[in-house]
Amino acid sequence: MQALKNIALVAHDNRKKDMIEWVEWNFAILASHTLICTGTTGTLVEQALADKVKGTDIFDKETKIIKLRSGPLGGDQQLGAMIAEGKIDVLFFFWDPMQPQPHDVDVKALLRIAVLYNTPTACNRATADFMISSSLFDKEYQAIVKDYSEYLTRKL
């Protein structure tokens, strides 16, 4: 992955406030990267960053924000496909462990594919803070991806 990253941002309804507060706190770091967001989270992130950047001379260009479908309408699956294609470098997914989700199978599939492709993933604010403050965050990094081809050739 390059120094400038493709960062996925996802938040369930009960965690959107946490995500937006986190984005506002880290806007100076996030603004130089491409942000890929699901549904409403993308609109909220876009508004939060516009408010933070407005009136500053910190940035010469607008932050690139790509908005996918809402999670329950396929956004989680879109992100999973992007991870499999190598188009996502880091995933920040503030999910709600206390609220049943109508698309729970998609949520599990997204988390599974992130682990499968060794994508750095934060599922809570503390982990997100550690990841974004890591000395590796703004550098090139080569993640080691396990070769699962043996699973394809195994006989059951």
The phi, psi pair for 11, rounded to 5°, reads -150, 130
Q: What is the C-alpha end-to-end distance of the chain, expressed in Å?
A: 35
Sole residue written with tokens 């499968």: 116
Residues in contact with 112: Cβ distance below 8 Å, sequence separation at least 6, in sequence order:
none
List the 6-11 sheet strands across, edge first: 65-67, 34-37, 6-11, 90-94, 121-122
Q: Which of 13, 51, 60, 76 is catalytic?
A: 76
84: nearest Cα among 66, 109, 101: 109
CA contacts within 13 A on the Cβ side of 25 = 11
The DSSP bridge partners found for residue 34 are: 6
Q: Is 18 a catalytic residue?
A: no
Q: Which residues are catalytic?
A: 76
